[in-house]
Structure 1
Amino acid sequence: MDTNTLHTALEAQTAAFCEANHIPGFVVGVYHAGEQVTIAHGTANVTTGAPMLQDTGFLFGSVTKVLTTTLVLQQVDRGVIDLDAPVVAYLPDFALSEPGAAAKILVRHLIGHTNGIDADLYFPDAKGRDALKAYVAGLSDCGALFEPGEQLSYSNGGMIVAGRLLEVVTGLSFHELLARDIYAPVGMPDSSTSAEQAILRSTAVGHFLDAETMRAEPTTMFTLPDTWGPAGGTPIGTVADLLAFGRTHLAGGVSPYGRRVLSAESTALMQRVSHDMGSPNTPPIGLGWVLYPFGDTTVLAMSGASPGGTSLLCVLPEHDLVLAAYGNSPGAIMLQDQILQWLLRDHLGVHIPKLVTEPEQDVDLTPYVGTYRSNQLRVDVSIVDGRLEERTTYEPADASQERIFTEFAGGTTSAPPQRYVPIRPGLFAPEGYPTETFDGYLRLLLVSFHDLRDGRVRFRNGGGRLTRRA
């Protein structure tokens, strides 16, 4: 498929989906085998009417986690950090509420999402150079979900601790380090580290759909607090900049401009499986990258939620392809999944097998019933009309936490009960979805249960995050 055909196809898919699903604006870029295509559609901000352009900036969200991991591996290459050293060797004040729990966590656990830090909804509102120091200090009130290396659970806390570790060993703030060691050598001239920088150029804002008017309304929060920088709270850039970063990982750590950013060995280590839960809804993890299997093809991926927006970066080493995209409404993740699968099937000719089979009828539901908890989150699982039913409750630690998370979520933190049908023992799909829904990125909608002991499971996994039986 030539670049003109690719451009036309991307443009048509984007316009049709955005119009049908009330997505104000969308920007997507594809690099493949030496050619690059970028298209932009719609509006960056419905209040101002500013158009979404190919060089409009947007919040990277959790895509930042791959940048943070790259920074850590750079220091490993330089002999400054040892992946197998305890985190407390660099951060002596790092502690969790359980005595001795923090001392068991190694550096690799932080960037491999296997650290067990129970702080996924912990949003301390600190600003400036000491923001990450304040975050780590506050973790002494947070617990551990599991022993390090025992399980896999998507970890904002781990990445933020890694960011603070980088500050201590380099003497630079995380944002200074990001600009010096990622933006500059990769060639990301339009990327910034704060809202104050981003306001000086064209930048999109997120939106939430008003269920009554079916109109997209701008978010009341542009970024998360500075404390969340290394996990994706504050870095901002363009599709072209993200493509350049993806191409650097495609090329074994060498930027499109010929600069060595990361060693070939560390680049490969990030792409190698470090933990696998063996469940379709929780793809294997490398370091930083999530390794999505699509048949025989592996997609290195990370998506990023920001207030009212969602980004995606995918690298396909086997096909010399990078995909980067952003939409300024949470529903844009559906379009990103559609484009990814279209690129695999139609552009690259990759066969995507069905990920899940038809539901089983005779699965014993009793091992899964109970209450599961993680940081400020409670999930009650019961049996209703022969189906598992989940009720999720947000339990804020204080008024500040509630304010930040409520704004991040667009004003609501509650959801109606959700029923699930069994796919097989330990794996469930939300009721009413055709099984092909889960073939792509939206496999994260599946729920799995892990570690059966004495007739009851210990952990529930939803969206890649664990909650533990209370």
Structure 2
Amino acid sequence: MSHETLSEFVEATATKFGIPGVAVGVWADGQEIYACHGVTSVDNPLPVDRETLYELGSITKTYTATALMRLVAEGRIELDAPVRRYVPELTLADERAAAEVTVLNLLNHTAGLGWGVIVDTGEGDDALAGYVAKMAELELIAPPGARASYSQAGYNLAGRVIEEVTGLTYERAVASLVLEPLGLSHSFFTPGDVMTRRFAVGHNPGEDGTPSVARLWKRWRGNNPGGGLMSSVADQIRWARFHLGDGRAESGERVLPAEALHRMKQRTVELRGSTLGDAFGICWFLRGVDGVRTVGHGGSANGQFAELLTVPERDFAVVSLSNAGPDGIPFNQAVVRWALEHYLGVVDRDPEPLPYDPARARELVGRYETDAMTLTIGTDGAGLTLGAGIKPEIRAASDSELPPDYPPAAMGLLPGDGDEYIITEGGLKGQRGFFTRAGSAVVGIDLAGRTANRVASG
């Protein structure tokens, strides 16, 4: 497959979705192929290239998990040990949960923690310790080990484990354990490192619908382990190649035992009806697509979106970075699917929803909430819709711009028990999830691996 063909697809798709600047990389047949299009910012435009820095969002979690696994391989951390062995000050809303939650529970999202604590604990070296101190206020959704639910807080706590064990700040520890040995020279946590290099800014729709620069460029330091890394598409392809390999850096240095990398890609907990995948490994999302096993992770920031997918048995990887919402997600999905089909002959299609059922719709319509978000399920009598928005009190308390809400978009229920769904239009198109029940009553909804509890019906 020629470089020009990938470039043509990327340019056409970015234009279709109105994305100012995108960077795509593919590792296939032992070659790196890149396609970059557009600009870093509509206000201060520079051409995007393979070294342009983007916010990775939650792909950062794969770095946190890998750094921690290196400490496991060195015998400094045990996955099945309670977190309090390393972070004795941990306090949660439930004392039993605080005493029982393990390191592995953090890495595979089975700690029973809510999504996260929305708090700025400053930019000092105590930022992460301050975040963990606030976790006593965090909603708990299940006992440790009972179920999977995606948690930002869990990974920020994992970052604090790394700090306590190494005696270093999280950022310095990840640099010494992972970034430097692998030669990832365009991957940074601090704005001071980023601002002297070419970097993308996020965009959201302005009043006239055209992309407008998102002024909250990066969240606070206490959120770094769960989503704070900035990196280039070239570094992300290098990162993917490491995880496809035997644990050695390109220099030949042994960074992880091969069996540790292999273990990260093995199922630890099943997922139901999730866009994220069929299961979690250690951090990685695992999903079967058209007869092949994929391993990947996505990420989002304010108007920036990232996707990394590998196919280990085919020594293949694709990375897609985009700098506009809400259509950065469908852009990345389109690129990943095109690459799978054109390089591997693997076809990834969304499942077809069932016809609209008014009686089932009446069961589901209502408002569902997490600590920060409200999901609204509605119907016009002909179909279901899902809207997602940040709670007004969260917006009011924020001292900076937050991403816009997702307006109601069509969704449909999927074959099976009828509680799984797929969103069929809008910026969340293709996202899958499921409704949860207590007996016969619908009490919650899962979207993108996160649980929202029902607060009102009808």
Q: State yes or no: 1:426 paired with 2:426.
A: no
C-alpha separation in 1, matches of 2:11 and 2:383: 38
Name the SS of the counterpart of 1:403 in structure 2.
coil
Name the SS of the counterpart of 1:304 in structure 2.
strand
Map of 1:78 onto structure 2: 74
Shift of 1:35: 0.9
Name the SS of the counterpart of 1:143 in structure 2.
coil
Which string of whole-angstrom CA distances, capped at 9 and with x for unpartnered residues, describes residues 171-219 of structure 1?
000110111111111111122221101111111211222251x432212
Shift of 1:468: 2.7
Aligned partner of 1:236 among 230, 235, 244: 230
**Aligned 8 A contact 1:388 1:419 in 2:** yes
C-alpha separation in 2, matches of 1:268 and 1:77: 13
Aligned partner of 2:432 among 446, 460, 470: 446
Map of 2:245 onto structure 1: 251
Residues 368, 431 of structure 1: alpha-carbon distance in 2 compared, 3 angstrom cutoff: same
Shift of 1:341: 1.1
- Mapping 1:369-448, distance limit 5 Å: 371-381=367-377, 385=381, 387-388=383-384, 390=386, 392=388, 394-395=390-391, 401-404=397-400, 407-409=401-403, 412=404, 414-418=405-409, 420-424=411-415, 425-430=418-423, 443=430, 445-448=431-434
C-alpha separation in 2, matches of 1:78 and 1:307: 36
- Mapping 1:283-298, distance limit 5 Å: 283=277, 284-298=279-293
Q: Which amino acid aligns with 1:200?
A: T
**Aligned 8 A contact 2:372 2:394 in 1:** no
Aligned partner of 1:109 among 91, 94, 105: 105
Instruction: For structure 2, list consecutive stretches of 5 or more residues without a partner in the other structure.
Output: none
Instruction: For structure 1, list consecutive stretches of 5 or more residues without a partner in the other structure.
Output: none
C-alpha separation in 2, matches of 1:55 and 1:391: 36
Map of 2:194 onto structure 1: 198
Shift of 1:275: 1.0
Residues 302, 195 of structure 1: alpha-carbon distance in 2 compared, 3 angstrom cutoff: same
Shift of 1:124: 2.6
Which string of whole-angstrom CA distances, capped at 9 and with x for unpartnered residues, describes residues 126-156 of structure 1?
2121110000001111120112222222211
Shift of 1:120: 3.0
Shift of 1:383: 6.0
Percentage of matched positions with identical amino acids: 26
Residues 208, 150 of structure 1: alpha-carbon distance in 2 compared, 3 angstrom cutoff: same
**Aligned 8 A contact 2:55 2:230 in 1:** yes
**Aligned 8 A contact 2:274 2:448 in 1:** no
Which string of whole-angstrom CA distances, capped at 9 and with x for unpartnered residues, describes residues 400-458 of structure 1?
85335xx241xx3x44445533223111233668xxx99xxx54x223113x3321144
C-alpha separation in 1, matches of 2:212 and 2:395: 24
Map of 1:167 onto structure 2: 163
Q: Which amino acid aligns with 1:13?
A: F
Name the SS of the counterpart of 1:310 in structure 2.
strand
Map of 2:451 onto structure 1: 466
Residues 206, 356 of structure 1: alpha-carbon distance in 2 compared, 3 angstrom cutoff: same
Residues 103, 396 of structure 1: alpha-carbon distance in 2 compared, 3 angstrom cutoff: farther
C-alpha separation in 2, matches of 1:57 and 1:383: 41
Task: State the TM-score, normalized to the length of structure 1.
Answer: 0.89
Map of 2:305 onto structure 1: 310
Residues 399, 349 of structure 1: alpha-carbon distance in 2 compared, 3 angstrom cutoff: closer
C-alpha separation in 1, matches of 2:331 and 2:409: 23
**Aligned 8 A contact 1:247 1:255 in 2:** no
